[in-house]
Each structure stands twice: as structure tokens, then as C-alpha cells.
Amino acid sequence: AREAMIDTLHEPYRLSLVPGDFFRDALPSCDLYLLMDILHDWPDAECESILKAVRKAAPSGAKLLVIELVVPDDPGPAWAKTLDIHMLTLLGGRQRRTSEYVALFERTGFKLGRQLVSPAGTSILEALPA
């Protein structure tokens, strides 16, 4: 039943769900790639592997949206800073500042387009092929 629902949903929206392992499998060519709460699970080396796999598959006009809780630059308490400690101790990952995402993007063939902050504090980082 779930598969039938997905099939009826993706037709008008050109959405395809493709299972795979972004560390081993070739990614499909897409107009848009979405990574939500993925990169914070991983240290920089693995993030670079994920982003390089996306960049290798992404055509020149594609966009990458990274949705993550970004660590603010200002001093003081913030949920993103607390979550950073949790990610480090539980998974070896981390929350990052915007400047750290910019550096990751630059090392993997992307550039930051825009950053939108939702009312909940989560950021949408638009990355474009460099």
C-alpha cells in the first residue's frame, strides 16, 4: 500500500525515490538533491565523501539543499551548541557554523548560494555547483 501511495505522489511532481548508499553507489543525475539532518551525523572526511558523490552526479544547473541546525557565531547558549556535543559523543558527527559549511562546499565543488533560516531555527543552505 505504501508503494502505491508513493507511485501516485511522484508522477505529477517528477519525484523518484532511489535507494542506495551514498558512500558506495553512484547517485542519479537530478535537478535537486536534498540532505536533511545528514551531514551533522558525520565528521568532515565522510561529509566530503557524501558531497563529492552528489557533485559527481549533479549536472551544472542542479541545486543541493542542506537542511541542518547551524551553530550561531555569537557567544552564549544555543540549542545547536548543545546538539553539537550530543552529535560528537553519540555519532562522531558535529553541528557546524555557516563558515564551516562554506569550506566543506568549496572543498567538494560547490559554492553557497543562499542561507534561509526557518522560524524554528533550522537553516536551509542552498549549494550550487562551482
Pairing of strands 123-129, 32-36: unpaired
Going by C-alpha positions, the residue among 129, 113, 124, 106 that lies closest to residue 30 is 129
Note whether 123 and 69 are within 8 A (CB).
yes
Composition of the chain by helix, strand, coil, percent to 5: 40, 20, 40
**Residue 97's CB: how many other CB atoms inside 10 A?**
14
d(CA 17, CA 40): 22
Task: For the chain, give the number of residues.
Answer: 130
The residues assigned a catalytic role are: 40
